[in-house]
C-alpha cells in the first residue's frame, strides 16, 4: 500500500486540504524552504543544548540519543478533540473502577465478563494490593492512552499506559521549541495551551495526599541517571518545584516515608514514582532491589503515603487485559465504549493461536507485558526467518502474546530534504486523575515514524516526535 492510500490528516484521502490545516497551509505557502531548513536545524540544536535525550537499552554501547523532532505540527480540530476527550475520560474512569474491583470483590469475574485465570495467572496482578484502597480511591493518577487514526472520524485505542506513562516532557519541550521558533503561527492559530501541565500535575498529586496532609509534600522517585527516561524525571521534578529522589534518599521514619534533607529526614505525603513495582520495596517484592525503599508498602497499606501510580496498576495496561477493555468499560460505566479497541487475538486461546500462526505474515504480534516496541513482530515487514522464529516463540509460550491486524495508520507531513512527505503517527494524550476530577491535556505526544513506510513510532526504534495542536473551535 502506498503512502497516498493512507488517510492523511492534512490532505485527507483525495488530496483536498482539511479544515484544521487551513491557516497553517496559508502560512506555509509564504515560507522560504531555506528558512524552514534552518529552523529544523535550529530545533535540533535546541534539543541538543537542552539535553533532551533517552538511553537505548539492549545495545552494547547503551548510547544516549536525541529523539528526532519535526517542525511540522500535527493539528487536531476542537470538535475532534471533544469526542476524543469524552472517550478518554470514559476509559480512564473504567480503568480506575476496574482496579478497585479487581483488588476487592472482583465483581467483573463473578459476572463472567473476564475469566479468573486472566487475573490470577497474570504477573502484573499484585496480591499485596488485595484489600488496599489508595488515598482518595485513585489508582492511576497519570495515564497515557495511545491512540491511532485510520480515517476522518476513525480513532482506535492501541494501548493503555497505566503504570508509569512517559513522554510528557517531550510534549512540553516540543511546544516550547515551536513557540520560540514560530511565534507568528501561534498568533494566527488559536492553539490550546499545554504549558500548565507541571502545575496541574502537582495540584492533582497533592489532591491525592492522605488525610491530614494540609500542605502535602510531593517528591519524584527515579531509578537514577541510567534510566532511559531520567531526563523526564528530572525535568518534571524541576518544573513542579519538588525534590527528585532515589531510593537511598528515603527511609521509613516514625511510620512515614521521609527524605533526607540538610535539616534531617522530612516526611513525604505523595511519591510520584518512576520505579517499577518489583523494585519498589525489597521487603515486599524483589529482595535484591537497591532502587526502592524498604517498608514503603507497609506505610502505604496503612494509608500514610500516596504512591502514584498505585502498585499493581499494571494489570490494567497488560495487553491481554486490553482485549477485554470494551467489556470493562461497559461493565463499570453502563455505556458502550466511545473509543474502540483494535481487534485483538489472544494467543492463549487455541482457536486464536491457530489463526495467528496461519496469518502471521499479515499481523502485528506483541508481548503482553512488552513496551517500547521491543519483542514485537510486524508481519508484513518480517523476513521468512523472522516469521519462522516467531512461530516457534508463539508455540512455546502462546499466553505471552496477543496479535492485531496491521492498521492503516494515518499520516502527517514531516519536513524532509525534499520538502514535505507523509509519515505514520500515533498520539499519546496525558490524563491526570484525582478526587477533584479528570484533567486531559489538550493534545499530547505525537510520535512519528521518521523512516519512510515504517509503522513503528517508538523512539527506541528510531521514531521521532512533533508538536500536537488542538485548536479552539
pLDDT of residue 52 exceeding 50: yes
CA-CA distance, 464 to 446, in Å (whole number)?
8
Nearest-10 crossing angle of helices 350-358, 384-396: 170
Q: Where are the domains of the chain?
A: 3-342+407-470, 343-406
Residue of 92, 154, 82 whose CA lies nearest to 430:
92
> Which tens digits make up the pLDDT trace of 106-124?
999 999 999 999 999 888 9
The whole-number pLDDT of residue 61 equals 46
Question: What is the band of 280 on the pLDDT scale with cuts at 50, 70, 90?
Answer: very high
Q: Domain 343-406 maps to which CATH number in 3.40.1580.10, 3.40.50.360, 3.30.1490.270, 3.40.50.720?
A: 3.30.1490.270
Cβ neighbours, 10 Å, residue 38: 12
Q: Is the dihedral of CA 134, 434, 306, 168 positive or negative?
A: positive
pLDDT of residue 309: 97
What is the average pLDDT across 231-235?
94
CA-closest candidate to residue 447, choices 473, 415, 423: 423
Return the percentage of the chain with pLDDT > 70, whole number: 94
Q: Does pLDDT of 62 surpass 60?
A: no
pLDDT in tens, 330-357: 999 999 999 999 999 999 999 999 999 9
Report, as an integer, the average pLDDT of 414-424: 92
Judged against a pLDDT cut of 70, whether residue 371 lies above it is answered with no
- Of 29, 273, 232, 229, nearest in space to 134 by CA: 273
pLDDT of the residue at 89: 98
Mean pLDDT check: name the lowest of 305-309, 361-365, 415-419.
415-419
Least confident of 60-74, 233-247, 332-346, 358-372: 60-74
Q: What is the pLDDT of residue 254?
A: 95
Find out whether 25 and 18 touch, Cβ atoms under 8 Å.
no
Please report, rounded to a whole number, the percentage of residues in the chain having pLDDT higher than 90: 80
What is the pLDDT of the chain when averaged over all its residues? 92
Give yes or no for residue 372 having a pLDDT over 60: no
DSSP secondary-structure letter at 174? H
Residue 273, all three cell numbers: 514514582
pLDDT tens readout for residues 201-230: 999 999 999 988 889 999 999 999 988 889
Of the candidates 378, 373, 375, 319, the one whose C-alpha atom is nearest the C-alpha of residue 347 is 319
Q: Are 156 and 341 in contact (CB under 8 A)?
A: yes
Amino acid at each position: 500500500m502506498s503512502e497516498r492510500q493512507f488517510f492523511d490528516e492534512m490532505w485527507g484521502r483525495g488530496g483536498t486540504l482539511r479544515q484544521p490545516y487551513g491557516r497553517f497551509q496559508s502560512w506555509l505557502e509564504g515560507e522560504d524552504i531555506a528558512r524552514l531548513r534552518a529552523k529544523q536545524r535550529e530545533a535540533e540544536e535546541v534539543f541538543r543544548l537542552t539535553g533532551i535525550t533517552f538511553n537505548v537499552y539492549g545495545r552494547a554501547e547503551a548510547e544516549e540519543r536525541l529523539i528526532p523532532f519535526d517542525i511540522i505540527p500535527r493539528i487536531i480540530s476542537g470538535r475532534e478533540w471533544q469526542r476524543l476527550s469524552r472517550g478518554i475520560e470514559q476509559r480512564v474512569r473504567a480503568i480506575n473502577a476496574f482496579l478497585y474491583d479487581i483488588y476487592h470483590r472482583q465483581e467483573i469475574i463473578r459476572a463472567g465478563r473476564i475469566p479468573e485465570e486472566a487475573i490470577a495467572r497474570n504477573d502484573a496482578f499484585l496480591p499485596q494490593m488485595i484489600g488496599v484502597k489508595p488515598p482518595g480511591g485513585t489508582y492511576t493518577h497519570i495515564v497515557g492512552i495511545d491512540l491511532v487514526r485510520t480515517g476522518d472520524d476513525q480513532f482506535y485505542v492501541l494501548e493503555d499506559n497505566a503504570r508509569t506513562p512517559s513522554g510528557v516532557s517531550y510534549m512540553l519541550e516540543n511546544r516550547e521549541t515551536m513557540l520560540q521558533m514560530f511565534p507568528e503561527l501561534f498568533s494566527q492559530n488559536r492553539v490550546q495551551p499545554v504549558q500548565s501541565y507541571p502545575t496541574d500535575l502537582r495540584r492533582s498529586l497533592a489532591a491525592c495526599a492522605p488525610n491530614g496532609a494540609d500542605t502535602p509534600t510531593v517528591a519524584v522517585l527515579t531509578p537514577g541517571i541510567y534510566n532511559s527516561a531520567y531526563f523526564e524525571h528530572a525535568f518534571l521534578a524541576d518544573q513542579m518545584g519538588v525534590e527528585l529522589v532515589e531510593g537511598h534518599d528515603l527511609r521509613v521514619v516514625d511510620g512515614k516515608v521521609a527524605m533526607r534533607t540538610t535539616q534531617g529526614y522530612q516526611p513525604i505525603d505523595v511519591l510520584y514514582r518512576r520505579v517499577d513495582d518489583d523494585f519498589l520495596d525489597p521487603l515486599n517484592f524483589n529482595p535484591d532491589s537497591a532502587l526502592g525503599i524498604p517498608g514503603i508498602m507497609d506505610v502505604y497499606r496503612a494509608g500514610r503515603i500516596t504512591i502514584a501510580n498505585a502498585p499493581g496498576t499494571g494489570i490494567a495496561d497488560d495487553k491481554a487485559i486490553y482485549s477485554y477493555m470494551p467489556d470493562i468499560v461497559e461493565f463499570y460505566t453502563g455505556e458502550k465504549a466511545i473509543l474502540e479497541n483494535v481487534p485483538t487475538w489472544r494467543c492463549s486461546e487455541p482457536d486464536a493461536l491457530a489463526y495467528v500462526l496461519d496469518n502471521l505474515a499479515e499481523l502485528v504480534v506483541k508481548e503482553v507485558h512488552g513496551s517500547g516496541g521491543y519483542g514485537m513482530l510486524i508481519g508484513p515487514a518480517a523476513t521468512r526467518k523472522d516469521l519462522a522464529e516467531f512461530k516457534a516463540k508463539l508455540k512455546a509460550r502462546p499466553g505471552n502474546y496477543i496479535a492485531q491486524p496491521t492498521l492503516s495508520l494515518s499520516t502527517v507531513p514531516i519536513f524532509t530534504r525534499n520538502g514535505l512527505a507523509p509519515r505514520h503517527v500515533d498520539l499519546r494524550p496525558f490524563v491526570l486523575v484525582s478526587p477533584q476530577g479528570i484533567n486531559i491535556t489538550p493534545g499530547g505526544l505525537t510520535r512519528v515514524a521518521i523512516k519512510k513506510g515504517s509503522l513503528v513510532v517508538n523512539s527506541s526504534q528510531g521514531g521521532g516526535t512533533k508538536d500536537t495542536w488542538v485548536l479552539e473551535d
